[in-house]
Amino acid sequence: MNDNEIKALISLLDDEDQEITEHVEQKIRELGGQLIPFLESEWEGSFSPIHQKKIEELIHDLQYQSVLERITLWKESGGIDLLEGLWIVATYQYPDLSLDKIRQEIKQLYLDVWLEGKSEMHPIDQIKTLNTVFFNKLKFAANTKHFHSPSNSMINVVLESRRGNPISLCVIYMLIAQQLDLPVYGVNLPSLFVLTYKKDHTQFYINVFNRGLVFSKSDIDHYIGQLNLKPADTYYQPCTNLDIIRRVLRNLMLAFEKIGDTGRVKEVEQLLNAVYDEDATPPLSDYTNK
């Protein structure tokens, strides 16, 4: 369809015949996200709140379908690029968000830390240096005031506000560390996402939500014991990028549950299902928001 045909099609959304409008909506959904600019133009020129609301719903549906398609493709391609996965999640609420812009922001954070570090440092000292820059210079901190806010799952918001929940702070910290060639990875602890430094015979853990507190395997043993859980490798060893995105989506789903937004809960649940792997996905109750 050319531009004039598209505009003519969209103009029929305001037709009084419901059968016509339903057919038009179906056609618009089939044509997909390419129609969003035309829908936005139609919205701006409309003086009918009902017509505008219909257009808003169509735009949201088209944008959501795009997110669903991207995250499905990301999963099917192996989930190699974690930052891309985080960007896809963020486009659920910020559809115009630029991946290149997010990459540039992470690169700048890496450069800020790189200027302060020395590669010959002992691993613990490397992490202490990273902590100093991350928390004192760059001002990242736990978002304890709005812990359950959906914005904690949006990497662009966390990068801007410097406030996040355990997993959002961890992934930014980890992305910086890995660009510094530090062997730092995510660990799926129940109710608390942490990081591990693991190389050869050296392994310890980092609680980024608690300002980069370094702790040991015995601390995890104690933590697991307090939760009355049996030890499992997943509580001690690095997890995958897919595991991280699944957990981010669970957090987002639970955040919308907290504010009673059932529509978005269902949409995020569908995104979660798109990256769901039965063998790798633990029970939801084990990984509630953290």
pLDDT given at position 95: 93
Query: Helix 166-179 crosses helix 82-90 at what angle (to 10 degrees)?
Result: 140
pLDDT surpasses 60 at 176: yes
State how beta strands 192-199 and 163-164 pair.
Answer: unpaired
pLDDT value at position 289? 45
Structure confidence at residue 118 (pLDDT)? 62
C-beta contacts of 162-168 below 8 A and 24+ residues apart: 162/138, 164/140, 165/209, 165/251, 165/289, 165/290, 166/142, 166/192, 166/193, 166/194, 166/207, 166/208, 166/209, 166/290, 167/193, 167/244, 167/247, 167/248, 167/251, 167/290, 168/248
Q: What is the mean pLDDT of residues 162-191?
A: 96
Tell me how far apart the alpha carbons of residues 284 and 280 are, in angstroms, rounded to a whole number.
12
**Pairing mode of beta strands 184-189, 213-215:** unpaired
Is the pLDDT assigned to residue 250 strictly greater than 60?
Answer: yes
Q: Distance between CA 85 and CA 256 in Å, rounded?
A: 20
State the pLDDT at residue 290.
Answer: 55
Between residues 45 and 181, the one the model is more confident about = 181
Q: Is residue 60 over pLDDT 60? A: yes
The tokens of 95 are what?
Answer: 């559809």
- pLDDT for 262 equals 95
Question: Which pLDDT score is estimated for 282?
Answer: 46
What confidence tens digit (pLDDT) does each residue in 136-154 have? 999 999 998 988 899 999 9
pLDDT beyond 80 at 199? yes
Output the pLDDT for position 284. 47
In order of 170, 176, 189, 250, 281, the CA distances from 285 in angstroms are 20, 30, 12, 10, 11
Of 220, 222, 221, 211, the closest CA to residue 127 belongs to 211
What average pLDDT does this structure show over 37-63?
80
* pLDDT band at residue 246 using 50, 70 and 90 as cut-offs: very high
Note the pTM of the prediction, 2 decimals: 0.86
Report pLDDT for 286.
45
Least confident of 49-58, 100-109, 272-281: 272-281
**What pLDDT shows up at residue 26?**
82
Report the distance separating Cα 234 and Cα 237, nearest Å: 5
Give the phi and the psi of residue 45 in degrees, each rounded to 5. Answer: -90, 0
Cα separation, 194 vs 147, in Å, equals 16
Report the candidate in 277, 273, 241 with the shortest Cα–Cα distance to residue 78.
241
Instruction: Write down the mean pLDDT value for the chain.
Output: 89
